[in-house]
Amino acid sequence: MKLIRHGVAALLIFALMTTLLVGIFSDMEENYDITINGTIDNESVAQKLNNINLIGGINNLATAMYKLFPPTGADQDIIGALAAAAIGSLQLVGGVVTAPVDIFGVITQYYTIPSIVPTIIGLLTIIYVAFILLSAHLGMDV
């Protein structure tokens, strides 16, 4: 349980830092008239990271809160806002699970990873597992 708590806190820190970085970049774009390049779907890599489930869930929750306040008096608004909050919460919880895959997916969209890297990771994993099995077989650390 302690480990999960740390993982969730880590992802929240990641979300916070990504949001801050996107803010810095947007301000640069507006105030210094920089020309954006290297975008996919008109979004930079940090903006894409800002849209993953984890951070999208927080944004949905925030939108839901804004919708509730100030209330317009109509029932649908309150129900809609509650539904948005529920969806946002679900997205946030789901986002914690899918965050590593989401982050890796976004990075591979923008950067070409040399084909040798998966091979090296695969080999290292095999060696790692082999040593664990060997340790288990011998009953001692190797």
Binding residues (CB under 8 A) for another protein: these are: 3, 6-7, 9-11, 13-14, 17-18, 21, 24-25, 28, 32, 34-39, 44-46, 49, 103, 107, 110-111, 114-116
Of 15 and 84, the one with the shorter C-beta distance to another protein is 15
Whose tokens are 């080999």? That residue is: 123
Cβ of residue 120: shortest distance to another protein, in angstroms?
13
Amino acid identity, position 45: V
Length of the chain: 142
Report angle CA 48, 53, 59 to the nearest 5 degrees.
85
Cβ of residue 25: shortest distance to another protein, in angstroms?
8
Of 58 and 84, the one with the shorter C-beta distance to another protein is 58
* Phi, psi angle pair for 102, to nearest 5°: -60, -50
DSSP 35-58: PP-S-BTTB-HHHHHHTSHHHHHH
Of 48 and 81, the one with the shorter C-beta distance to another protein is 48
Cβ of residue 126: shortest distance to another protein, in angstroms?
22
Whose tokens are 């806002």? That residue is: 81
